């Protein structure tokens, strides 16, 4: 086999620079004294101080966290069931439709999902607000969880479940005592992915949300439309930092789990 | 009486057994919150806009008779085909989606291939570095490019300081900025399926080709590429389908000439408040995407099982 050559090194250096330079610059300029994004005016944390005094952003952040927490928890429960149904329930009537409804939301343009779910809420005369955003987020997040669970189940040893059932364990107890502990890392990463998907979503939230339920991405979007400010850089840096921390924690948990298995 | 009492419970038991109940929980959720909304979009696309809340006419008119009369109107669809703006927006989205999918594939393949070839102890960390931006907010990643690509932005500043250019490049608010934004945002979606595929590739096949005297480049084209085709297809679907309806990138980085159907739909809904036309735009976009989505579903099912 050809060795890891110069081409590979160049591809990795250029590729990772492309992926990371914009984020690094974004973080760097959140500590800029100057209001201009291109002129370095010295180190300062004043934009973070200003951020803490911005009630609009704080309210939006609180709404976002509540929506993300509830939607990721419900989505993880529903998605885990859906993933098990896809892998352990064999053929049932309407299976193709079910798998279509799991895979389609992952690639479907967000404007279509947002518009359709909003029109349904309007038709059923459900007031738009935090509830509707949460319902919309559960719906697309659960599909990601289902796929994560599904790929975890493909390397799952069925004989343990069969042994438990043979020994008289009920299906529910088998799930709770045997299957769930084994697939727990996948469940946790499904929850984390749902949480960040909900935290990041702008388009679907813009459609599904109503007055009083402005989420953080919606708030950031309206600020970006008015112009680039270091304050947006500061709020972005906090979000990037939180997500990085979450991903690293998740991968450490995953690795530890792998080592103990 | 007695027979009825026994028969109904067993009949119900067969429908509502444990297995079916478990299946029905996620099934009903998706039917109600994913599929049912599309039927409503289809319905509203045949309505007419009115100044009311909700701003469209009802399809079913309950008159004097027992049966409602159906008032379907094809005005929204006729309007879409009569105004060249919409056809242009669909074609321009298609063009942007195809070109950016190809660009993402070329860049993503080089990265995924290099990660798969990297020494084993590096791979985990390299893979995490690819996944990390994928978890970071889409909006923030697009926003980061505004400061770089602006006429008075960091790219022009760097290039003029070095002396490569003396007049700033105009990239912001052009199609080029949209391509940069799309490739940047969707790159992890391309790399991950490609890497998953390349990592599992049987390297002895490449050795066999080399032993039999095949040149490295020819081996790459005739062995590596065909073997990684499932990864290529999955990556291309994951980029092409959502880019067709992309809104954030053309809105923030593109200019007034950048036409994309996602932006048009957003405008029809939020600014013009013409819900029937917005619904018709969505239905036609869905009709274009339904075949690629089904192919994607098939390829994913095959990959997992």
Average pLDDT over residues A156-172: 87
The reply to whether residue A8 touches residue B143, judged by beta carbons under 8 angstroms, is no
Of A2, A123, A202, the CB nearest to B216: A2
Rounded to two decimals, the pTM is: 0.89
Residue B197 covered by a domain: yes
CATH topology of domain A54-260: MetI-like fold (1.10.3720)
Residue B79 covered by a domain: no
| Higher pLDDT pick, A123 / A228 | A123
For residue B17, the model assigns a pLDDT of 75
For residue B13, the model assigns a pLDDT of 65
Scanning every residue of chain A, which has its alpha carbon at the shortest distance from the alpha carbon of B107? A15
**Chain B residues closer than 8 Å to A139 by CB:** 29-30, 33-34
Of B25, B44, B129, the CB nearest to A119: B44
For residue A1, the model assigns a pLDDT of 42
User: Could you please report the per-residue DSSP string of B110-178?
Assistant: HHHHHHHHS-HHHHHHHHHHHHHHHHS-HHHHHHHHHHHHSTTSHHHHHHHHHTS-SS----TTSHHHH
Residue B24 covered by a domain: no
Q: Using the predicted structure, report yes or no on whether residue B9 has a pLDDT greater than 80.
A: no
Average pLDDT over residues B183-211: 89
Domain positions in chain A are: 54-260
- Contact at 8 Å (CB) between A250 and A194? no
Average pLDDT over residues A245-261: 72
Contact with chain B for residue A70, Cβ under 8 A: no
Residues present in chain B in total: 305
Q: What residues 178-237 of chain A have any CB closer than 8 A to a CB of chain B? A: 193, 196, 199-200, 202-203, 206-207, 217, 220-221, 224, 228, 232, 236
Kindly report the CATH number assigned to the domain that includes residue B243: 1.10.3720.10
3-state secondary structure of B155: helix
Kindly report the nearest CA distance between residue A91 and chain B, in angstroms. 11
Q: Using the predicted structure, report yes or no on whether residue B62 has a pLDDT greater than 70.
A: no
**Chain A residues closer than 8 Å to B150 by CB:** 37-38, 228
Residue B175 covered by a domain: yes
- Domain span holding position B121: 94-304
The reply to whether residue A228 touches residue B146, judged by beta carbons under 8 angstroms, is yes
Q: Which of A171-175, A225-229, B195-199 has the lowest mean pLDDT?
A: A225-229
For residue B244, the model assigns a pLDDT of 95
Q: How far apart are CA B175 and CA B172, in angstroms?
A: 8
pLDDT digit string, tens, across residues A126-163: 999 999 999 999 999 999 999 999 988 888 888 888 88
Q: What residues 84-123 of chain B have any CB closer than 8 A to a CB of chain A? A: 107, 110-111, 113-115, 117-119
Q: Using the predicted structure, report yes or no on whether residue B4 has a pLDDT greater than 80.
A: no
Of A11, A120, A151, the CB nearest to B40: A120
Interface pTM, i.e. ipTM: 0.90
Q: Which pLDDT band holds residue A67 (cuts at 50, 70, 90)?
A: very high
- Contact at 8 Å (CB) between A248 and A192? no
The reply to whether residue B144 touches residue A23, judged by beta carbons under 8 angstroms, is yes
Q: Which of A12-21, B16-25, B55-64, B228-237 has the lowest mean pLDDT?
A: B55-64
Residue B72 covered by a domain: no
Q: What is the number of domains present in chain B? A: 1
3-state secondary structure of A43: strand
């Amino acid at each position: 086999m050809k060795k890891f050559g110069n081409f590979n090194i160049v591809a990795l250096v250029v590729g990772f620079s492309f992926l990371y330079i914009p984020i690094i610059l974004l973080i760097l300029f959140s500590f800029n004294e100057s209001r201009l994004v291109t002129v370095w005016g010295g180190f300062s944390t004043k934009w973070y101080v200003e951020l803490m005094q911005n009630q609009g952003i704080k309210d939006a952040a609180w709404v976002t966290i509540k929506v993300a927490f509830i939607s990721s928890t419900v989505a993880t429960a529903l998605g885990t069931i859906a993933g098990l149904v896809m892998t352990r329930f064999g053929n049932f009537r309407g299976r193709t439709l079910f798998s279509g409804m799991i895979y389609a939301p992952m690639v479907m343009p967000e404007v279509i999902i947002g518009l359709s779910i909003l029109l349904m809420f309007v038709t059923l005369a459900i007031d738009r607000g935090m509830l509707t955003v949460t319902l919309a987020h559960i719906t697309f997040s659960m599909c990601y969880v289902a796929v994560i669970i599904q790929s975890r189940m493909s390397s799952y040893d069925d004989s343990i479940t069969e042994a438990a059932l043979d020994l008289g364990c009920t299906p529910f107890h088998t799930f709770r005592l045997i299957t769930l502990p084994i697939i727990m890392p996948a469940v946790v990463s499904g929850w984390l992915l749902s949480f960040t998907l909900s935290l990041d979503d702008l388009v679907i939230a813009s459609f599904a949300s109503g007055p009083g339920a402005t989420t953080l991405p919606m708030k950031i979007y309206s600020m970006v439309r008015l112009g680039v400010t270091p304050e947006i850089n500061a709020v972005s840096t906090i979000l990037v930092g939180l997500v990085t921390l979450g991903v690293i924690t998740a991968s450490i948990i995953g690795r530890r789990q792998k080592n103990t298995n | 009486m007695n027979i009825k009492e026994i028969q109904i419970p067993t009949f119900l038991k067969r429908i509502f057994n444990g297995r079916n109940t478990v299946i029905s929980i996620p099934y009903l959720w998706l039917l109600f919150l994913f599929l049912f909304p599309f039927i409503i979009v289809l319905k509203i696309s045949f309505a007419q806009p009115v100044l009311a809340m909700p701003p469209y006419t009802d399809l079913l008119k309950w008159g004097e008779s027992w049966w409602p009369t159906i008032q379907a109107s094809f005005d929204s669809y006729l309007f879409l085909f009569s105004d060249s703006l919409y056809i242009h927006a669909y074609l321009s989205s298609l063009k942007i989606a195809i070109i950016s999918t190809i660009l993402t594939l070329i860049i993503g393949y080089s990265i995924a291939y290099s990660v798969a070839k990297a020494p084993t102890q590096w791979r985990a960390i390299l893979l995490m570095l690819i996944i990390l931006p994928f978890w970071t907010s889409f909006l923030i990643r697009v926003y980061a490019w505004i400061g770089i690509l602006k006429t008075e932005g960091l790219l022009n500043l760097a290039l003029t300081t070095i002396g490569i250019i003396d007049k700033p490049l105009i990239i912001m608010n052009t199609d080029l900025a949209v391509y940069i934004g799309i490739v940047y945002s969707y790159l992890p979606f391309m790399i991950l399926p490609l890497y998953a595929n390349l990592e599992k590739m049987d390297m002895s096949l490449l050795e066999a080709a080399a032993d039999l005297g095949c040149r490295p480049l020819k081996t790459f084209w005739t062995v590596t590429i065909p073997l990684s085709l499932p990864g290529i297809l999955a990556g291309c679907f994951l980029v092409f389908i959502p880019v067709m309806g992309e809104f954030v990138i053309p809105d923030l980085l593109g200019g007034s000439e950048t036409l994309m159907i996602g932006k048009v739909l957003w405008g029809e809904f939020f600014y013009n408040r013409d819900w029937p036309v917005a619904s018709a735009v969505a239905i036609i976009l869905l009709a274009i995407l339904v075949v690629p989505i089904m192919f994607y579903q098939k390829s994913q099912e095959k990959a997992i099982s």
